[in-house]
């Protein structure tokens, strides 16, 4: 274990973003490291190693008032999922040196309350593994498709944000389940990766002309399952082409996160009624008691070469705000992680 630093670097929320996140929305700060001599029973001190940059974190930067997700206070370190090392412990079963995942914040060290959960990194996996190939996004893809979408062999599955960390895994699981899978992504390079490396049946560039027409051409019998990470106009285009008894999995709405206010919904509800279409949102935490089984199955599929995954790891504590902002610029490829060093 490395010696603890003399200072604790932090990135604080300076102001609430009004559209796209910029570096000016955050403020660098330094404070003293947490005091390990005063730990109460159950408390921990963690050293953060990797932060997941997840689109939903943009929601946490909104003003308080929406009880569905937390709101980061102005002047507080930015909350984020992280992989960490235990550097001081007063919690039974969590020794110093253990690698864990937890919700922490953008700082080197974090004091963890006795009731704050941490999850040990499974044997045989690195902290990078548990934040990427088997991380929060992969488990979200797994539960969303299998528990909400309930795929059947022969179904036509369309995934928005398909080249992203969650979408690419959902699409590949769809192939494993015997679905015909079409990915939606931005740019020819991402579309080529989906059909070439991930084995999807087709991919559509939403930036190209007549996107909705191309989607309809690829799905002449309609869409049986739509796994939505994007929302907005792309969700609407899918709704207009859903098959009878189609299922829409609402995972994310990244197209609307920077608009401010509530996310826009569909503008043709009668299409859902007359199509007998189901829309359901979910969180991977809804299936927390099935996490071990999900990890076991994901590891088996990866070992069999049925799932490929990309990690975009960007080093530098000083660059965390810029790394996070890349999520909304479309420049990342795969799970975006900020490495603390």
For residue 183, list its beta bridge partners: 159, 203
DSSP letters spanning 114-161 = TTS--EEPPTT--HHHHHTTTSHHHHHHHHIIIIII---TT-EEEETT
Domain ranges of the chain: 7-132+309-339, 136-285
pLDDT at 4: 56
**Local structure of 184: helix, strand or coil:** strand
Strands 44-52 and 335-339: what pairing?
antiparallel
**pLDDT tens by residue, 245-278:** 999 999 998 877 767 667 778 888 999 999 999 9
pLDDT at 287: 97
pLDDT at 1: 42
**Rounded to whole angstroms, how far apart are CA atoms 170 and 165?**
9
pLDDT at 334: 85
Strands 335-339 and 311-315: what pairing?
parallel
pLDDT at 191: 96
pLDDT at 68: 74
| C-alpha angle 298-304-309 in degrees, rounded to nearest 5 | 55
Q: What is the CATH number of domain 136-285?
A: 3.40.50.720
The structure's pTM equals 0.91
Residue 24 · residue 12 · CB < 8 Å:
no
pLDDT at 157: 98
Residue 323 · residue 298 · CB < 8 Å:
no
Token digits of residue 258: 């920077």
Sequence-ordered alpha helix ranges (H) in the chain: 57-60, 127-131, 136-143, 165-176, 188-196, 211-218, 232-239, 269-274, 291-303, 320-325
> 7-132+309-339: which CATH number, 3.90.180.10, 1.10.510.10, 1.20.120.1750, 3.20.20.70?
3.90.180.10
**pLDDT tens by residue, 115-126:** 999 999 999 999
Phi/psi zone of residue 213: left (φ > 0), alpha (ψ -120 to 50 degrees), beta? Answer: alpha
Spatial CA neighbour of 111 closest among 45, 49, 59, 55? 45
User: Per residue in 61-86, is it b (16+ CB within 10 Å) or e — as a string?
Assistant: bbeeeeeeeebbeeeebbbbbbbbbb
Weakly modelled stretches of the chain, pLDDT under 70: 1-5, 66-67, 258, 260-261
pLDDT at 333: 80
pLDDT at 260: 65
């Amino acid at each position: 274990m490395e010696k603890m630093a003399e200072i604790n670097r932090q990135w604080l929320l300076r102001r609430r973003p009004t559209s796209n996140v910029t570096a000016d929305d955050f403020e660098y700060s330094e404070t003293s490291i947490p005091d390990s001599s005063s730990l109460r029973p159950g408390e921990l001190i963690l050293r953060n190693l990797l932060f997941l940059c997840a689109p939903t974190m943009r929601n946490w930067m909104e003003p308080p008032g929406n009880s569905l997700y937390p709101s980061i206070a102005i002047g507080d370190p930015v909350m984020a999922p992280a992989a960490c090392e235990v550097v001081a412990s007063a919690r039974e079963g969590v020794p110093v040196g253990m690698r864990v995942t937890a919700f922490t914040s953008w700082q080197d060290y974090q004091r963890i309350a006795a009731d704050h959960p941490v999850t040990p990194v499974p044997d045989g996996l690195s902290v990078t593994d548990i934040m990427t190939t088997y991380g929060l996004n992969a488990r979200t893809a797994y539960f969303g498709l299998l528990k909400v979408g309930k795929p059947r062999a022969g179904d036509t599955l369309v995934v928005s944000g398909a080249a992203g960390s969650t979408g690419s895994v959902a699409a590949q699981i769809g192939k494993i389940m015997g679905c015909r899978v079409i990915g939606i992504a931005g740019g020819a390079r991402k579309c080529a990766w989906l059909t070439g490396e991930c084995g999807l049946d087709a991919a559509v560039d939403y930036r190209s002309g007549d996107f909705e027409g191309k989607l309809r051409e690829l799905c002449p019998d309609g869409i049986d399952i739509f796994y939505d990470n994007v929302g907005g106009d792309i969700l609407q285009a899918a709704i207009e082409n859903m098959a009878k008894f189609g299922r829409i999995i609402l995972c994310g709405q990244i197209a609307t996160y920077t608009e401010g206010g509530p996310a826009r919904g569909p503008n043709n509800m009668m299409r859902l009624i007359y199509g007998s279409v189901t829309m359901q949102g979910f969180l991977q935490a809804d299936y927390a008691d099935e996490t071990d089984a999900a990890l076991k199955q994901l590891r088996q599929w990866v070992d069999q070469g049925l799932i490929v995954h990309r990690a975009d790891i960007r080093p530098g504590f000083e660059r965390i705000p810029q790394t996070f902002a890349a999520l909304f610029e479309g420049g990342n490829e795969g799970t975006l992680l900020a490495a603390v060093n």
